[in-house]
Amino acid sequence: MKEEVRNRRSSSDDSGYLPNTFSLEDAFSIERELERGVWRLRFSPPVEEAFINYYLNRYMWRIRLGILFGIMLYAVFGLLDLVVSPEHKKIMWTIRYGVVCPSGLLFLLSTYRIRKEWLIHTLHALVIVIAGMGVIAMIAFLPPDKDFLHQSGLMIITFYAYTLSALRFRYALFASLTLVLLHLVGDLFFLHKAVNRMVADMFFLSSANLIGIPVSYLWEYQSRRDFLLTVLLTMEKKRVEKLNEKLREMSYMDSLTGVANRRKFEEYLEAEWERAKRAGRPISLLLIDIDFFKKYNDIMGHPKGDKCLREVAQAISANLRKGIDLVARYGGEEFVVVLPETDLSQAKKIAERIREAVMDLKIPHPGSDVYDRVTVSVGVASLIPREGMRKEQLIKMADEALYIAKKRGRNRVGTFTERSVA
């Protein structure tokens, strides 16, 4: 079955006709429908409803084209009326052009307003029955030696119902068998044909049904099977897209801390740098270093060190604007924060909040020379990018600001402004 789904990739993409009701979790029920087989031409209620909507949207063009072709063909046969029995053409043309063709046109127009699949198929079947009754009525006005030509019209209508109409099987079967019954009633009670003529008429009309029935059945069978395969293919695409998105996110994530990695930082800074340059707006950068982290690792051990990194990363993230600011792991115990649309005074406030948030974690640090808890030093840099500047300049400023914070005793915020750049 999976091979069938893969092979389906080479066919035309029908996913645009699918309803948006299926999720990846529905794949099991769809596979079960496919394994059970579609010979009954019936799915479980939710899947059946989705198939009906799919079928109507997928084949509406064929329904309209079929009825248009049928109307034209029915109209052209008016020439046969003129040749076979010109003396009866008035009544026959009244039936043909006054009743049947207008009924077909009215149905064709209604397909642009009606959205219920069962109603469209029911009306289509009714138009077919009306067309057949029109032929039976014409036969009633023709002499016995001329009606056999119009008798063939019933076979054409039957073939139309099973093939060109795009009717689902049960509707096509209903319309065609209704014509057989109406023809039989007409022969018995109104036309009073000879027995041999009646047998011949029913033989040919029944043969047309026997030929059309498997064609219509196989058409819907294949349509249902294609629907299931298309749904599974669409789900497979969604699953692969979701997996690719997850892999993409993982490629931008630091596996230890759960924040962005250096690759993501560089791409994000590049994009925000160019945006700030175009808009003439400020952009700020924070470079954060955990004070005496090497001593912490040596004393507390690497598992504790890893936990410390994760908690510090979470504390930084909690003090940033979601979806706007970005925190990334820059090195071993270093983090970097990109603050778009943020000037120096705002960036300093954010840096101070982060410093205090890390202290509030109350992670013991017996190896620290400045405090008995884990602390951070933060370097803050801010500027408005101009032509000729590079983003590396902002990184260098933040690094210099971090150096200033460390030089002044750590556990503090250091700043470095654009005016300080040589």
Nearest to 139 by CA among 83, 173, 88, 176: 88
Using CA of residue 231, residue 233, residue 237, residue 239, what is the dihedral sign? positive
- What domains sit in the chain, N to C, each tagged with a CATH number? 2-238 (no CATH), 262-420 (3.30.70.270)
Q: What secondary structure, in 3-state letters, does 187-208 show?
A: HHHHHCCCHHHHHHHHHHHHHH
Any idea what DSSP says for residue 88? G
Any idea what DSSP says for residue 147? H
What is the reported pLDDT for 17?
A: 56
Could you state, in chain order, the average pLDDT of each consecutive group of 10 residues for the chain (422 residues)?
44 52 63 80 86 89 94 93 87 95 96 92 96 91 76 92 95 95 85 78 92 95 90 85 81 90 94 95 96 94 95 96 94 95 96 97 94 96 92 95 94 75 36
> How would you class 3 by CB atoms within 10 Å of its CB: exposed for 0-12, middle for 13-18, buried for 19 or more?
exposed
What is the reported pLDDT for 234?
A: 84
CB 310 within 8 A of CB 256: yes
What's the token pair of residue 164?
A: 């060109």
Using CA of residue 202, residue 205, residue 211, residue 212, what is the dihedral sign? negative
What is the reported pLDDT for 16?
A: 54
Q: Count CB-CB contacts under 10 A for residue 60.
A: 16
